[in-house]
Amino acid sequence: MKRTKTNNSETHSSPSVTLRKARMHFRSMFIVLVLFITLIQSSFLFCVAQSSDKNAFKEDQIKSLMLKVTNWQLQNPKHNTKDWTNGAFYAGVFAAWETTQSPDIYDALLRMGNTAGWSPNKRFYHADDIAISQTYIDLYRFEKREEMIRPTIDTVNLFIERPYPTRGKVDVIKWWWCDALFMAPPTLVKLGATLNDHTYFTVNDKYFKECYDLLYNKEEKLFARDLNYVIKNDGKDRYEKNGQRIFWSRGNGWVMGGLVRILKELPADYPERPFYEQLYKEMAKRVLDLQQEDGLWRASLLDPESYPGGEVSGSGFFCYALAWGINNKLLDKKTYLPAVRKTWVALTHCVNEEGRVGWVQPIGADPQKNFSPDSWEVYGTGAFLLAGSEVIKLPRK
């Protein structure tokens, strides 16, 4: 019987082909396994992140983080104690003490005041140099020691009585840059409330409104950084690449933080209080519209594409101001609470394991891009602590 030839290449694989197929099968299975493990890990990390973000609003977690941040910054001092940067920082430290009731923080505040001699910085006429006095006054309310408040009273009285020294230049108003509205007004209104002397309120109204008239853009509902942005005397354009005006995040954060600290002090029936409340609400609405998807604001508010990274000091002050507005029923909870919660989560992600607050723009007079997770400044820490002191009071549900 004749055998029929069989084409082995069609009916059976050669050993090399079989091995090749086995390798391909193994490779496919390996890729599937890697993808599966990656998916599981991603899901796990997402769940951990979600859980961590939920924990970010627990009272004990907020207090623990505020303590860690405060301790790190106290152990890593920067600048003269009386400098404006520390004025903002110690405002946050005092808020951290109010929140945590830590005796160590309170002792650190007293040491700061004793070391500084409870006196403002050198320039009686400059808003920056009385920023530290906010903390002196807050501590005086507990300690009732005359030496804690007398140098501030004397300095502020000189500020009121004497003209702003211009060294022969064209006269300018006393608060001609927006940062000043965080530095000086809270000191004046705290003095007025503490001494029960409304003269300080009236003086603050005058100089605050001068600054408002000079720098507040009623169309944009934002403050220009200083008179150089509204009085064009150097021939330079003051616009971003996209053609929008330059409005600095931290500059407007200073203003909103200052407004909160004014409103916390002014009596409910004070005649000029509605002016501050209205300005606060206008800015809050505008700022809400400018928040970015990650919960933070960019260094330049109207050109976020040119400043892709979030900036923590401006965002911290906005978080503080908006959270305070919710807690004090000046802002609608449904509208603003989701934004504030998103910001707080983003801020906590900018704190490293040691407690250092990063992503803070360095000292400057305009929006900058040269900062990173390692960029820190004491005012960024102060803004973070102020934010935490209000976030902890937010509605839990």
**Which residues form the catalytic set?**
179
Q: What is the DSSP string of 207-246?
A: HHHHHHHHHEETTTTEE-SBGGGTS--SS---B-TTSPBP
Token pair 């965080």 in the structure block, residue? 182
Instruction: Please answer whether residues 256 and 283 qualify as being in contact, where contact means their C-beta atoms are separated by less than 8 angstroms.
Output: yes
Contact at 8 Å (CB) between 203 and 188?
A: yes
Neighbouring-strand partners of residue 245: 239
For β-strands 222-223 and 216-217, DSSP reports them as antiparallel
| Cα separation values, 372 from 309, 357, 358, 360, 375, Å | 8, 11, 7, 7, 5
Burial 344-365 (b: 16+ CB within 10 A, else e): bbbbbbbbeeebbbbbbbeeee
Taking only Cα atoms into account, the Rg of the chain, rounded to an integer number of angstroms, comes to: 28
Instruction: Give the Cβ contact number of residue 257 at 10 Å.
Output: 29
118: left (phi over 0), alpha (psi -120 to 50) or beta: left
Q: CB-based contacts of 219: which residues, under 8 Å, 6+ apart?
A: none
Separation of alpha carbons 389 and 97, rounded Å:
9
What distance, in Å, lies between the first and last C-alpha atoms of the chain? 90
In angstroms, rounded to a whole number, what is the distance separating the alpha carbons of residues 176 and 236?
19
CA gap 393, 380 in Å, rounded: 21
Three-state DSSP class for residue 340: helix
The single-letter DSSP state of residue 167 is: T
125 by Cβ neighbours in 10 Å (0-12 / 13-18 / 19+) ranks as middle
> Which has the closest alpha carbon to 382: 137, 70, 61?
70
